[in-house]
Amino acid sequence: METRDPAPLPRVLLVEDDTISQAYFRAVLEGLPTTVDAVASQACAMARADTTRHDLWLIDLTLPDGSGIDLLLKLQARWPQSPPALAHTADADPDVRLPALQAGFRDVLVKPLATAELSGAVRQALAEAGGLPDWDHAAAAAALNHDPTNVQALRRLFLEELPGARDEVLNSAQRGDAGTLRARLHRLQAGCGLVGAKRLGAAAELLRRTPESRTALERFDHAARDLLS
């Protein structure tokens, strides 16, 4: 089966006024990979968002011209069908977290952030929003020594086995067998990483973490079916 043309990278609006932190966030986000629009203020964020649809908003809660919560509310008014939003802050006070969650942020990340923590939160948010591409060609090439013949051969094998893997996951979920479900998803994630099945791998990770979630199961099923179509 021939692979489809690569989908556009997810686009992230990064709002961070500290130069060093902005550079760090950008490096981690671009390594996922994503396309990053980095700005340092509410005004610049609104100007960028006025003409660009983003797959994720990543917003500092304290900005030079207002709060991140105020910015989120403005962005939500501009884009009623809003993408997921993550807040980040250097303030570890628990009282900071609740108002941000109530405003609509799906999580509040406390700086300094380890690369794995930041990338994991972003991957999960994008997976839930359907913002990841089906195939990550660069990741597959790196995993298989940049040999296109190996990439194509392993992807064919992966796609041949995917219907059975999908059925096992769905059946385990329907039986409520969380142990078998997690084990099968763990094996599937390894294959996804080798062939660059980015969106399915993220959906599998989300379902493995939240096996009781109907939404996570549906996202997994949609990602698998899209690869097989």
DSSP code at position 197: -
The model's confidence at residue 123, banded by pLDDT at 50, 70 and 90, is confident
The model's confidence at residue 130, banded by pLDDT at 50, 70 and 90, is low
The model's confidence at residue 202, banded by pLDDT at 50, 70 and 90, is confident
Q: Considering only CA atoms, which of 142, 137, 160 is closest in space to residue 5? A: 137
Q: Which residues contact 179 (CB under 8 A, 6 or more apart)?
A: none
- pLDDT at residue 4 is higher than 50: no
Number of DSSP helices (H) and strands (E) in the chain, helices first: 10, 7
Strand-pair category, 62-63 with 66-67: antiparallel
How distant, in Å, are the alpha carbons of 105, 130, 143, 152, 203 from that of 192? Answer: 29, 16, 11, 13, 10
pTM of the model: 0.60
The model's confidence at residue 131, banded by pLDDT at 50, 70 and 90, is low
Q: Where are the domains of the chain?
A: 11-129, 137-228
Torsion region of 176: left, alpha or beta (phi above 0 gives left; psi -120 to 50 gives alpha): left
137-228 in CATH: which number? 1.20.120
For position 140, what pLDDT does the model report? 67
Task: Give 22-42 pLDDT, tens digit per residue.
Answer: 999 999 999 888 899 999 999
- Greater pLDDT, 127 or 92: 92
Two structure tokens written together for 87: 């807040």
- pLDDT at residue 224 is higher than 70: yes
Task: Give 46-104 pLDDT, tens digit per residue.
Answer: 999 998 999 999 999 999 999 999 999 999 999 888 899 999 999 888 888 999 999 99
CATH 3.40.50.2300 fits 11-129, yes or no: yes
